[in-house]
Amino acid sequence: MNASYLPSDYLPVLIQLGLALGFIITTMIVTHSIGPKRKSQKKDDPFECGIPVEGDARTPISIKYFLIAILFVLFDVEVIFLYPWAVNFKGLGVTGFIEMVLFMGLLLAGFYYIIRKGVLKWE
């Protein structure tokens, strides 16, 4: 299966990309130009679920929050790699099984490191 791709093979993708960008830009320009431009103090106030605004929006947030969010995304993305492996489990054979055991071992080693460092402990 020796396939050589020519630049013209990517033309449909580039056309689709161009159309999508053109639609986005056109929509933004048209809505900005024909939309209402009524400004008032009440309309320009920030709105948060009907609750009056209190304090400063730039208060510092604990780094633990961001670490938990990053770890969630990291381990969530790792699970995505398990699905194609599970679907092609029989076709991958012993080599695929060994690769997945190595992958899971590295994933669990990272998880063990996170637990040992106490990143998931809230104070």
Q: Which pLDDT tens digit goes with each residue over 25-48? A: 999 999 999 988 888 887 777 776
Cα–Cα distances in angstroms (integers) from residue 34 to residues 26, 30, 59, 76, 122, in the given order: 12, 6, 37, 42, 50
When pLDDT is cut at 50, 70 and 90, the band that residue 49 belongs to is confident
Q: Is the dihedral of CA 36, 40, 42, 44 positive or negative?
A: positive
In tens, the pLDDT along 56-104 reads 777 787 778 888 888 888 888 888 888 888 888 888 889 988 998 998 8
**Which of 75, 59, 56, 55 has the alpha carbon at shortest distance from 67?**
75
Q: Is there a contact between 107 and 78 (Cβ–Cβ < 8 Å)?
A: yes
Chain length of the chain: 123
When pLDDT is cut at 50, 70 and 90, the band that residue 2 belongs to is low
